[in-house]
Amino acid sequence: MVVAPAIRLSALTKTFGSVTAVDGVSLDIAPGEFFSMLGPSGSGKTTVLRLIAGFEKPTSGTVSLFGQDVTTAAPFDRDVNTVFQDYALFPHMTVLQNVAYGLRIRGIKKAERLERARAALETVRLGGFGDRKPSQLSGGQRQRVALARATIVEPKALLLDEPLGALDLKLREQMQVELKEIQRDLGITFIFVTHDQEEALTLSDRVAVFSDGRIVQLGTPQEIYEKPRSAFVADFVGTSNVFEGDLAVKVIGKKGAFSIRPERMSIETSTRTSANSALGSVVDAIYIGGASRIVVDLDAGARINVIDDEKTPEAAAALRGKRVTVSWKATDVVVLSA
């Protein structure tokens, strides 16, 4: 049996007046996949989610869920649910009532819905918090209530629009791990929208990188990170050093466009040159916890970043103002197509 994709978008386009928010997006997402849409603000990610949820109608193209064309179906006729960045919890209801809400509007009897709400709270590790009001919870806990509330109606896919965006870094990292565990426990498809590349790479089975309403690259986190196809992806997904035009000829020794990840470069105080190296002067060295980011102005005319996790912070700082040789392996040079 061929399993239908959980979500299939075909040539999906959405315009608002003169703005093309989504521009011909085609995509298959497999059942059970943790799929991320990653891109800068305004690249069309939220609009794609709203088209999948049915809050917007496409200008052209189609949306199918589990083999069924739902392009014109109402939101409540689609087997998906959405978690928004602001959680949208009801402040006057308890946590348990908030979670049970989706069952209430589906006419499930009280005893059953409270029992299922308690179980859902256990899933997000909030058993025992049911009697509190949302205002008595931390941001991370509120986020988990929103997750429980969205999953209790057993959607086949969950759409999450920057759900961790309001949390501070530490909590966000903790919630990333929990989100992944919850997704594994539930076994449902997650479509996760974020502008945070690290978050997308950490969580996802596959990532679609968006720019100007289009998917510019689609692949596993490793493919996206190690083999960015364009200067845009190389730069957006983890800072990269990009060499194009004359600079490519001078530094890489070839015509074309290339990138090298900062952590793939090494640095030493010498003025020797060989293949796969370039001379420059250190502008700054910044300790970033566990490694140093060393900024180098290459004589070829480019400012690059090198991430060094071998030198002590003091040794890295002592490089400021020094003449150095930056080197890399030929296999770490990624060829960009644009």
Residues in contact with ligand ADP by the rule CB under 6 A: 16, 19, 21, 39, 41-47
Separation between Cα atoms, residue 228 and residue 135, nearest integer Å: 43
Q: Which is nearer to ligand ADP, 21 or 224 (CB)?
A: 21
Minimum distance, C-beta of residue 243 to ligand ADP, in the bound complex (Å): 29
Q: Burial letters for 50-89: b for 16+ Cβ neighbours within 10 Å, e otherwise?
A: bbbbbebebeebbbbbbeeebeeeeeeebebbbbebebeb
Which of ligand ADP, Mg ion, none does residue 42 bind (CB under 5 to 8 Å by kind)? ligand ADP
Minimum distance, C-beta of residue 42 to ligand ADP, in the bound complex (Å): 4
> Residue 163's closest CA among 194, 185, 186, 133?
194
Spatial contact of 23 and 212, defined as CB atoms under 8 Å apart: yes
Q: Which is nearer to ligand ADP, 88 or 315 (CB)?
A: 88
Which of Mg ion, ligand ADP, none does residue 217 bind (CB under 5 to 8 Å by kind)? none
Separation between Cα atoms, residue 327 and residue 308, nearest integer Å: 12
Which of Mg ion, ligand ADP, none does residue 90 bind (CB under 5 to 8 Å by kind)? none
Minimum distance, C-beta of residue 16 to ligand ADP, in the bound complex (Å): 3
State the number of CA atoms in the 13 A half-sphere of 183 facing the CB: 22
Which of Mg ion, ligand ADP, none does residue 21 bind (CB under 5 to 8 Å by kind)? ligand ADP
Minimum distance, C-beta of residue 249 to ligand ADP, in the bound complex (Å): 36
Q: What one-character DSSP code corresponds to residue 134?
A: G
Q: Which is nearer to ligand ADP, 146 or 208 (CB)?
A: 208
Separation between Cα atoms, residue 288 and residue 316, nearest integer Å: 11
Which of ligand ADP, Mg ion, none does residue 47 bind (CB under 5 to 8 Å by kind)? ligand ADP
Which of Mg ion, ligand ADP, none does residue 16 bind (CB under 5 to 8 Å by kind)? ligand ADP
CA distances from 24 to 43, 125, 214, 293 (A): 13, 40, 7, 39
Which of ligand ADP, Mg ion, none does residue 44 bind (CB under 5 to 8 Å by kind)? ligand ADP
Q: Which is nearer to Mg ion, 46 or 151 (CB)?
A: 46
Minimum distance, C-beta of residue 266 to Mg ion, in the bound complex (Å): 38
Minimum distance, C-beta of residue 47 to ligand ADP, in the bound complex (Å): 3
Residue of minimal Cβ distance to Mg ion: 46
Minimum distance, C-beta of residue 13 to ligand ADP, in the bound complex (Å): 12
Q: Which is nearer to ligand ADP, 26 or 273 (CB)?
A: 26
Separation between Cα atoms, residue 33 and residue 36, nearest integer Å: 9
Give the type of residue at 221: P
Binding site for Mg ion (CB under 5 A): 46
Spatial contact of 13 and 33, defined as CB atoms under 8 Å apart: no
Angle at alpha carbon of residue 277, lines to 276 and 281, rounded to 5°: 160
Q: Which is nearer to ligand ADP, 46 or 241 (CB)?
A: 46
Minimum distance, C-beta of residue 9 to ligand ADP, in the bound complex (Å): 14
Separation between Cα atoms, residue 331 and residue 82, nearest integer Å: 42
Q: Given strand 60-65, what is the order of strands in its sheet?
A: 19-29, 7-16, 60-65, 68-69
Which of ligand ADP, Mg ion, none does residue 335 bind (CB under 5 to 8 Å by kind)? none
> Residue 130's closest CA among 93, 103, 94?
94
Q: Which is nearer to Mg ion, 46 or 183 (CB)?
A: 46
Q: Which is nearer to ligand ADP, 16 or 90 (CB)?
A: 16
